[in-house]
């Protein structure tokens, strides 16, 4: 028994798991993910909290310190795939992972988060609210580790094999050379899964991993359609989540201010920041919300424009 496990043994572990609204799914049981079960290094069991139900999945992973471009691409890909009925998988880490989970939820879809710690020790702490939101909205938080297992550096590479193993394809959005995202892509290749990468600026260090993967034969991921084309033909997807309509969308005050600043022009985030006084991080969040509401579009030259109508 490790120091992370309580002295009252397996039965006490299961009682605490039940108190968290979770359950243990053993390899060989009907609910254990088929794609994961066929791997030679699959976990013997998964601890699951939330509404676990097997469905086709795609993993999206990337940098913990992404650029606004990386955040936007992660959100758009995740939101569009979630609306198509795909479960979007990631690791609940800071940066791209958190954007992926939040975008899938905002789109009304399903997302699965795989932890490098126990369900009782969600890491990083600032994403505990996101984990609760996942479990409250038809998603699931998963771990192979005991409830009280604390996050340790050596656990995360092992976690990444589960992220890759749950999915038909892995999409990498930004990552420095030798990044964890690259490690997840390697697991996917070892398992015979599709690997896709989002191209980035040639002079950005965060383009190192996706560009290397593209040179080595990964598929390009510029849209959800690119990702869906990489999935097995005839793969049955659940009914898609409805896309937010454009009938009298409700805009928050900051969103309305950004739309007013756009006017009939197309503007970059820097230009919008100067015009609105908002910082780039906040603007990135607002622009994603406006894209979801179908009020703006991203146009050539890394600029935004209002949609007509």
5 within some domain = no
Predicted confidence (pLDDT) at residue 123 exceeds the cutoff of 60? yes
Mean pLDDT of 158-186: 97
- Among 229, 244, 267, give the residue marking a domain's end: 229
Predicted confidence (pLDDT) at residue 249 exceeds the cutoff of 90? no
CATH (domain of 225) = 3.40.50.450
Residues found in the chain: 309
Domain that residue 209 falls in:
16-229
Name the band, by pLDDT with cuts 50, 70 and 90, for residue 194: very high
Predicted confidence (pLDDT) at residue 210 exceeds the cutoff of 90? yes
Report d(CA 109, CA 139) in Å as an integer: 8
The pLDDT value recorded for residue 124 is 94
Predicted confidence (pLDDT) at residue 1 exceeds the cutoff of 70? no
Predicted confidence (pLDDT) at residue 142 exceeds the cutoff of 90? yes
Distances (CA, A) of 240 to 59, 131, 226: 18, 23, 17
Tokens 């191209």 locate to 199
Mean pLDDT of 209-220: 98
Laid out side by side, the sheet with 22-26 consists of: 22-26, 45-50, 140-143, 111-114, 87-90, 57-62, 169-173, 194-197, 219-220
- Among 161, 195, 229, give the residue marking a domain's end: 229
Predicted confidence (pLDDT) at residue 191 exceeds the cutoff of 60? yes
Quick check: helix, strand or coil at residue 112? strand
Distances (CA, A) of 306 to 80, 209, 218, 269: 20, 33, 34, 14
Distances (CA, A) of 13 to 4, 145, 298: 11, 11, 49
38, 81: one domain: yes
Burial label for 157, CB within 10 Å (0-12, 13-18, 19+), is: middle
Predicted confidence (pLDDT) at residue 246 exceeds the cutoff of 50? no
The token pair at 216 is 């080595």
Mean pLDDT of 93-97: 96
Mean pLDDT of 276-303: 84
270, 130: one domain: no
Name the band, by pLDDT with cuts 50, 70 and 90, for residue 183: very high
Say how far residue 13 (Cα) sits from the centre of its chain.
Answer: 28
State the average pLDDT for the chain.
89
37 within some domain = yes
Q: Beta-carbon neighbour count of residue 168 at 10 Å?
A: 18
CATH (domain of 280) = 1.10.10.10
216, 271: one domain: no
129 within some domain = yes
Report d(CA 143, CA 45) in Å as an integer: 9
Full 3-state SS string of 239-305 = CCCCCCCCCCCCCCHHHHHHHHHHCCCEECHHHHHHHHCCCHHHHHHHHHHHHHCCCEEEECCCEEE
209 within some domain = yes
93, 188: one domain: yes
53, 101: one domain: yes
Name the band, by pLDDT with cuts 50, 70 and 90, for residue 215: very high
Total tally of structural domains belonging to the chain = 2
Most confident of 182-196, 225-239, 245-259: 182-196
Give the N- to C-terminal CA distance of the chain in Å, as an integer.
63
164, 271: one domain: no
140, 209: one domain: yes
201, 66: one domain: yes
51, 120: one domain: yes
The pLDDT value recorded for residue 49 is 95
Mean pLDDT of 235-246: 66
The token pair at 220 is 């390009």
Predicted confidence (pLDDT) at residue 159 exceeds the cutoff of 70? yes
- Residue from 239, 248, 241 nearest 293 by CA: 248
276 within some domain = yes
220, 266: one domain: no
The pLDDT value recorded for residue 90 is 98
86 within some domain = yes
Tokens 């009938």 locate to 247
Task: Give the DSSP letter of residue 127.
Answer: G
167, 296: one domain: no
């Amino acid at each position: 028994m490790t120091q992370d496990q309580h002295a009252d043994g397996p039965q006490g572990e299961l009682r605490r798991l039940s108190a968290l609204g979770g359950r243990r799914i053993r390899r060989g049981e009907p609910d254990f993910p088929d794609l994961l079960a066929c791997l030679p290094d699959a976990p013997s069991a998964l601890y699951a909290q939330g509404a676990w139900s097997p469905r086709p999945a795609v993993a999206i992973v990337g940098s913990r310190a992404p650029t606004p471009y990386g955040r936007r691409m992660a959100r758009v890909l995740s939101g569009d795939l979630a609306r198509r009925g795909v479960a979007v998988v990631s690791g609940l880490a800071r940066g791209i992972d958190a954007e992926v989970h939040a975008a899938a939820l905002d789109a009304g879809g399903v997302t699965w988060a795989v932890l490098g710690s126990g369900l009782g020790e969600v890491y990083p702490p600032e994403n505990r609210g996101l984990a609760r939101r996942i479990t409250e909205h038809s998603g699931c938080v998963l771990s192979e580790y005991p409830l009280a297992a604390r996050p340790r550096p050596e656990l995360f590479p092992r976690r990444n094999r589960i992220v890759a193993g749950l999915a038909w394809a892995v999409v990498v959005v930004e990552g420095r050379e030798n990044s964890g995202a690259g490690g997840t892509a390697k697991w996917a290749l070892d398992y015979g899964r599709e690997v896709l990468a989002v191209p980035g600026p040639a002079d950005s260090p965060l383009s190192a991993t996706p560009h290397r993967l593209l040179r080595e034969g990964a598929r390009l991921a510029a849209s959800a359609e690119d990702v869906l084309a990489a999935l097995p033909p005839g793969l049955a997807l659940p009914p898609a989540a409805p896309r937010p309509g454009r009938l009298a969308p409700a805009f928050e005050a900051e969103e309305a201010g950004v739309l007013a600043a756009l006017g009939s022009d197309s503007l970059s985030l820097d230009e919008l920041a100067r015009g609105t006084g908002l910082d780039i991080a906040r603007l990135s969040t607002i622009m994603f919300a406006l894209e979801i509401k179908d009020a703006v579009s991203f146009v050539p030259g890394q600029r935004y424009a209002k949609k007509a109508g």
